[in-house]
Amino acid sequence: MLRVDTSSAVPPFEQLRVQLLEQIASGDLAPGTQLPTVRRLAADLGLAPNTVARTYRELEQAGLVQTARRRGTIVAAPLGQTRIDAHHAAEAFVRHMRALGLDTTDMVQLVRQAATS
């Protein structure tokens, strides 16, 4: 069951993304499982469709779901543990950098510098 706390400081799309990520990682959402449509999930949770669409886009960019025009959004084949660990590390990095007040451009620049040094 997915839940969003609208009084939380954590944005709704992030709450939803983390819950879906955890369900995928735990196997509760198996590969091939079809996720609700953006409109249906948004209505069920009382969210704007763009909020759910952003969540699905971010999960797709992370390789966790796939969206096909006629099939909708489905859980992708499992990632290797290394990829999952790397994804978690990247999320932690972004959270830390945002807490320091850096924007995406600054973060990318820092990563590029670290990768070439």
94 belongs to a structural domain = yes
What are the pLDDT digits (tens) for 51-80? 999 999 999 998 889 988 888 999 988 766
Q: Can you tell me the distance from the alpha carbon of 57 to that of 75, in angstroms, rounded to the nearest whole number?
A: 12
90 belongs to a structural domain = yes
Is the pLDDT assigned to residue 81 strictly greater than 80? no
55 belongs to a structural domain = yes
pLDDT in the model for residue 106? 92
> Percent of the chain beyond pLDDT 90?
62
5 belongs to a structural domain = no
Alpha helices in 46-103 (DSSP H): 49-61, 81-99
> Percent of the chain beyond pLDDT 70?
96
44 belongs to a structural domain = yes
Which residues, 6 or more positions from 17, have their beta carbon under 8 angstroms from its beta carbon? 55, 58, 59
DSSP character for 8?
S
Q: Which amino acid is at 93?
A: F
Which residues, 6 or more positions from 97, have their beta carbon under 8 angstroms from its beta carbon? 106, 107, 110
The whole domain housing 108 covers 81-116
Exposed/middle/buried for residue 87 (C-beta within 10 Å: 0-12, 13-18, 19+): middle
pLDDT in the model for residue 69? 80
| 103 and 87 inside one domain | yes
Q: Structurally, how many domains does the chain consist of?
A: 2
What are the pLDDT digits (tens) for 16-31? 999 999 999 888 999 8
Is the pLDDT assigned to residue 9 strictly greater than 80? yes
